[in-house]
Amino acid sequence: MRIARKLSGSFEVLYASSEEIPELLLKSGNYVAIPKGLLPTFAHEVLKLSLDQKVDYVLPLGGFELEPLAEAKVLFDEYQISVLVPDKDILETFSIIENPPADLPYVLLSKGNNLLGEEIYESTLDGLMVTSDSAEEFALVCVSK
C-alpha cells in the first residue's frame, strides 16, 4: 500500500494479489485476484487481466512474480504493456530489498526513464528500484516472496 500511495499521484493503480482479498475490496473494482507467481499459468493470467483492464504497466512486487514476468516481457510488449522488472538475463544479478522502509527514495524505471520523476538513467532498466548513494547501483524492490 505504501508503494501504491507513491504511485497514485502519477498513475491510476489497480491492485492485484494472490493473497486473499476481502470481498468488499474486490467489489470496489480497484482490487483483483491473480494466481500465485509459482503457477505455470501466472504470466498468461496477468496478461489476460492486463488486457481486460487496459493496463499500461505491470509492476511485480512479489518475489515469486519477478522471474515469470521477466520471462514474459516480450509477450507483454506485443500488446504495448510494459512489465517493470529487469530483463531475465540480468534479473539474478540484482540485490533484492524485501519490504523496504517507506522513507527510501524509490525510482520506478521504464527503459531507464524514472516514471516518478524527471531523471533519466543511462541504463535501460525496468523495475521499482532504490539507488545507492552514488546513484550508480540499483537494488530491486519487492514487498514479499
**pTM for the full predicted model:** 0.88
List residues bridging with 32 in a β-sheet. Answer: 16
Percent of the chain with pLDDT over 70: 94
pLDDT digits (tens, 9 = 90+) for 76-89: 999 999 999 999 99
Question: For residues 99 and 143, is the Cβ–Cβ distance under 8 A?
Answer: yes
